[in-house]
Amino acid sequence: MQDLWRLSAADLAALVKSKKISAHEAATSALARLDAVNPKINAVVDHRPDDVLKQAAAVDVAIARGEDPGLLAGVPVTVKVNIDQVGYANTNGLKLQKDAIATANNPVIDNFRKAGAVILGRTNCPAVSYRWFTSNLIHGDTKNPRDPSLTPGGSSGGAGSAVASGIGHIAHGTDIAGSIRYPAYACGVHGLRPTLGRVAAFNPCLPERAIGPQMCAVSGPLARTIQDVRIALAALSARDPRDPWWVPAPLEGPAVPKRAALCLNPDGLDPVAEVRAAVADAGERLRRAGWTVEEIPDTPPLREAADWNTKLWLGDLYEAQLATAEKEGDPGALACLRGKRADVFPFDQAAFSKALTRRATLLREWLLLFEKYAVLVMPVSGELPFPDQLDRKDEASFKRVWHAQLTQIATPFVGLPGLTVSTGLVGKSAVGVQVVSGRYREDLCLAAGEAIEAGGTPPMPIDPVS
């Protein structure tokens, strides 16, 4: 069983629990796959085989004792390099943080381990996790395994590239403006941005985050099957008292009619034809699965929500963020901050007050939409995955990138869950759709995602293209 890395997380965990294979065998297979393909894509930037095998041995010992090994028994997973893990540097893509060695774990690490997962390695991100591209001055560039001329996405580009290539069965990512959903889209896998408060997360070894990131950033999973996204969410959503935003909401909400809204051109996004076709195709897949699908002309305001989210993300403590980027010297981070300065700075007390006031108004509009529909299906991006580093080419390209990402940037401001479902390929480019639902209704996103996935061919591990 040399190719255990090809299996879904659900199938692998079942084999480990039944003692048909050991966690050690699963870890050995995962390490071999990492060694074989990571040099081509630079997705994992820190891993320690001895530590991986030690974790696997602990799972095997628990099973031998008759203990429940957990939902993810022996499943190799990756985590993003911007969360604390004891003994590892939380670089967040920065040379400045190369010595930020964690002495305590982020709840994401603890909840993965409690579920029996084996943490295989730490994945790359852009400096300060700012961009939809993944390069930095400490770890280098991550490549898209389907086409190295395209971005792997960002900021969880290492996560998307790794899981698409069979390095781990589930990848952890973070998302403040599309950083889970876009790498999943670009690399041709699935990725869930959970509701704010669903997944406990906190870096105990770094300063407390500003209020903008606290309100808009979340952790969540990427995987090659929707079922694996589902079980990863179950593992990651366990309680941790260190995160005051965590909410004890049930993973399954009340049954509602299977009714989906479909929006091809939300708030003037003007997607390319291939993106529109993917959304229309997802609607047809849902209809064939028994869903009622209604095309709507528009959504509640996205552009205003995106503007406010950008202000909270980049405008909050803007000068301090710019000083860090200048000290680091990272060209991508500087391009991001300088390119958005006029839109986000200054962000004073009056602006904060208006942002929070408008958040309630905009969220109310979205909640009323989801009184009528279980889910909304719309583009992840207005374009197919971008040429790599497009945002650094010139001012027009920078604006093009930000315009195309409207639907990703907007929903974090109102705290809604969003699921990228990969639906296929256009040439070498992956394409997919975004499924959004009401707060704490990830179950509805996943139900629709499973129906869309079943109408096509689920993503399989791929050998990276050189």
Q: Which residues are catalytic?
A: 80, 155, 179
- Alpha carbon of residue 332 to chain centroid: 20
Nearest alpha carbon to residue 445 among 258, 269, 285: 258
As a whole number of angstroms, the distance between CA 265 and CA 399 comes to 18
As a whole number of angstroms, the distance between CA 459 and CA 456 comes to 9
For the four alpha carbons of 378, 283, 285 and 431, in that order, the dihedral sign comes to negative
DSSP string, 320-354: HHHHHHHHHT-HHHHHHHHHHHHHH----HHHHHH
As a whole number of angstroms, the distance between CA 15 and CA 338 comes to 51
Contact partners, residue 173, CB within 8 Å, separation at least 6: 80, 155, 156, 159, 160, 179, 180, 183, 191, 219, 220, 221, 222
Q: Are strands 118-123 and 76-80 parallel, antiparallel or unpaired?
A: parallel
User: Which residues are 425's β-sheet partners?
Assistant: 430
Q: Which regions of 19-136 does DSSP assign to beta strands (E)?
A: 44-46, 76-80, 118-123
Nearest alpha carbon to residue 78 among 3, 174, 4, 11: 174
Report the 10 Å Cβ neighbour count for 329.
12
As a whole number of angstroms, the distance between CA 458 and CA 449 comes to 11
As a whole number of angstroms, the distance between CA 272 and CA 145 comes to 23
Note whether 182 and 193 are within 8 A (CB).
no
Q: What letter would DSSP give residue 387?
A: B
